[in-house]
Amino acid sequence: MVMGMPLVSCVMATKNRRRFIPQALRCFQRRTYANAELILVDDGDRPVGSLCRDVPGVRYLRLTRPSVQGTKINLGIEAARGEWIQKLDDDDYYAPAFLATSARNRPASDFAGTIVTRCCFLLTMRGRKEVWHSGHGWNTGGSLFFHRSLWKTQPFRDVNQSVDTHLLRDLRPQIKRICDVEQYIVVRHGTNTWNWGIAEGVRMSVEQYFAGRAVYTKTLEELVPTLDAADYRKLLRQG
Q: What is the pLDDT of residue 202?
A: 74
232 part of a folded domain: yes
3 part of a folded domain: no
184 part of a folded domain: yes
Asked if the model's pLDDT at residue 14 lies above 70, the reply is: yes
Query: Domain total for the chain?
Result: 1
2 part of a folded domain: no
Q: What is the pLDDT of residue 9?
A: 98
Residue 103 sits in which domain range? 8-238
1 part of a folded domain: no
β-strand pairing of 93-94 with 145-147: unpaired
Round to whole Å and give the CA distance between 189 and 126: 5
Distance of alpha carbon 222 from its chain centroid, rounded?
Answer: 21
52 part of a folded domain: yes
Q: What is the pLDDT of residue 5?
A: 86
Asked if the model's pLDDT at residue 110 lies above 90, the reply is: no
Q: 43, 46, 35, 56: which is closest to 12 by C-alpha? A: 43
**By the 8 A CB rule, do 212 and 203 touch?**
no
Asked if the model's pLDDT at residue 1 lies above 50, the reply is: no
Proportion of the chain above pLDDT 70, given as a percent: 95
Q: What is the pLDDT of residue 191?
A: 81
139 part of a folded domain: yes
Asked if the model's pLDDT at residue 143 lies above 90, the reply is: yes
Residue type, 149: S
CATH code of the domain covering residue 180: 3.90.550.10
pLDDT, mean of residues 192-196? 80
DSSP per residue, 177-197: EE--GGGEEEEE-S--S--EE
Q: Which alpha helices (DSSP H) does the chain contain, by range?
A: 21-29, 49-52, 69-79, 98-104, 148-153, 163-171, 206-211, 220-223, 226-238
223 part of a folded domain: yes
**By the 8 A CB rule, do 122 and 181 touch?**
yes
Asked if the model's pLDDT at residue 174 lies above 50, the reply is: yes
